[in-house]
Structure 1
Amino acid sequence: MPLIKNRYGKGRVRVMRIHRDGDRHEVSQLSIKAMMEGDFARAYTRADNSTSVATDTIKNIVNVVARENTGLCTEEFCQVLAKRYLDTYPQIASVAISAHETKWRRLSFGGKPHPHSFVLDNNGRPFVEVAAARVGPSTLASGIDGFAFMKSTQSGWENYPRDRYTTLPETADRMCATSMVASWKWSGKPSNYPAANTKIMDTVLEVFSTTYSMSVQDSLYRMGEAALAAVPEISEISMACPNMHFIPMNLSAFGLDNNNDVFLPTDEPHGQIECTVGRG
């Protein structure tokens, strides 16, 4: 029976590029699908893999081209990537590249754009929780679920216990990102709830973005302290922050360094950091 059509490749190749222009960073997080057509029929009909490029190799080329082209926009990057496949493998007749971008928006404080801190576009779902009864006090809490933010530097994880089960190296410079669930309890009525909610979020983001983080735990506590100081009408704030990991890619096999420029985005498994900060 004839093999009518075939193609193959690699899907959901996730890559984060950081382009550094002095202190200012540009970030580009992509999920890429690269599909090839060409002289591959024998792998299907004759169990002959001699012309088939391994899909793991297809993935590696994404990371190599990402490291070599940190500053290209998505359109230019995909064109360069397609050309690399065609230039490298003569058995490829055509290549189809699709890339979906996760958009990160630069934060600003005091009207000044921050060089390396970002929030996710279309970010978070605000919520309110009320508990009321005929007898006894009622409670009111506001919050936000799935609010993602990150910074591309000014975060570390060092001086933790090490034993025979420990494999994670210490670092004083890493990406730090999370998708936060936060809620705060009202002990008084502000003049304007939406404005107070905005002030809480602006405050925690500014603390996160503008101070060095010894750990997510360190940042969360200081964010909570600042929120309580900024809005006296709340009695406590709770934050749960699963890490959004960006794992540096090891490109040494291709003769390339990786000076915190190319990362694998992943959120499973993740560290789960939680705390509640209240008034004494």
Structure 2
Amino acid sequence: MAVSLGHNQYGKAETRVVRVYRDSDPHEIVDYNVSVALSGDFEDIHHTGDNANCLTTDATKNTVNAFAKEHGEAARQPESFGIALAKHFVDDTAPVSRARIKIEMYPWNRLQHDGTPHPHAFARSGEFVRTATVTYDGENLYVVSGVKDYTVLKTTDSEFHGFLTDRYTTLQPTTDRVMATSVTGQWLHTDTEQDWSKSFDQVVATMSSVFAGHHSLALQQTMYAMGEAIITEQPEIGEVRFSLPNKHHFVVDLSPFGLENDNEVFYAADRAYGLIEGTIRNDAFLDRAPAAGAAFDPGQGW
């Protein structure tokens, strides 16, 4: 029986690094969770245990920490920090042919003191987690920005009816429901040199505005509308991918208590839940998408 080694990668996952910028007042802070995955000439490691080509995972962790100081300007944004790290691992480490850097950025807001923002005190923002994934193979550079854990809800302007039914269908159609989801979104940049923060803020603002203002007949329809608007406003974005769990809110039956419930009291169920996922593409850039398997892991983004 023939056996061979398929795709493999290794690295250090979830290196937590916080960088404080003290070169000006007020201070600035960035808070990252960085995961590094390296691919390359590592067959001997697997076949014989020869570690000559193995850059230790401890070294990748140390690199992340050192780069937060040595490449301080790049470290201000997760995308530019990821680019700096990915290019270093591929360009400066001979056995490494591809690096993927995944970064979670935890936002912090300034605390108020006597009615004004304090220059040195912060509170962790729980609104969402900003993400970035950078993949580099020595020639191709893919930069993907993203957001996760962004929970949004609207109390009306959402319907769901006219759906396929069979003998197992019990869900009743509705013309007025609560619609809520926790957005995980990723968007592929075709321009890898830009103001990352400005682009990110614009995407989140567009996504939020569409969700709020769109009269929805299905979460799928709203998902597509959000992606379409993002690409229309930023045509340099090649595609947008969403994963949207449907955070179901069921009307509670209050009739046993002699009370009428006119869509006012709900039970927020945590499971089972609908999971809506999809990709909205900018057709002008389809030819620039990476080959399957080259930079894309199914279910994990670019």
Same fold (TM over 0.5): yes
Distance, in Å, in 1 between the alignment partners of 2:193 and 2:235 is 9
**Hey, what does 1:238 align to over in structure 2?**
241
In the alignment, structure 1 residue 137 sits paired with structure 2 residue 172 = no
TM score, norm. by length of structure 1: 0.55
- The CA deviation at 1:260 is 0.5
In the alignment, structure 1 residue 122 sits paired with structure 2 residue 119 = no
- The CA deviation at 1:190 is 6.0
**Cα pair 1:189 1:233 within 8 Å, conserved:** no
In the alignment, structure 1 residue 215 sits paired with structure 2 residue 218 = yes
The AA in structure 1 aligned to 2:238 is: S
* Deviations 1:90-149 (CA, angstroms, capped at 9, x unpaired): xxxxxxxxxxxxxxxxxxxxxxxxxxxxxxx72221111011112x31111010111100
The AA in structure 2 aligned to 1:170 is: P
Distance, in Å, in 1 between the alignment partners of 2:201 and 2:148 is 14
Q: Report matched runs for 1:72-151 at 5 Å.
A: 122-134=126-138, 136-151=139-154
Distance, in Å, in 2 between the alignment partners of 1:150 and 1:259 is 18
The AA in structure 1 aligned to 2:230 is: A
The AA in structure 2 aligned to 1:240 is: S
**Cα pair 2:130 2:147 within 8 Å, conserved:** yes
Distance, in Å, in 2 between the alignment partners of 1:261 and 1:163 is 30
Distance, in Å, in 2 between the alignment partners of 1:186 and 1:142 is 8
Match of 2:258 among 218, 233, 255: 255
Distance, in Å, in 1 between the alignment partners of 2:152 and 2:219 is 12
Distance, in Å, in 2 between the alignment partners of 1:156 and 1:185 is 31
**Cα pair 1:244 1:265 within 8 Å, conserved:** yes
Unaligned runs of at least 5 residues, structure 2: 1-124, 284-302
- The CA deviation at 1:234 is 0.9
CA-based RMSD: 1.2
- The CA deviation at 1:241 is 0.2
* Deviations 1:38-71 (CA, angstroms, capped at 9, x unpaired): xxxxxxxxxxxxxxxxxxxxxxxxxxxxxxxxxx
**Hey, what does 1:158 align to over in structure 2?**
161
Consecutive aligned runs of 4 or more in structure 1 exceeding 3 Å deviation: none
Larger strand share, 1 or 2: 1
- The CA deviation at 1:235 is 0.5
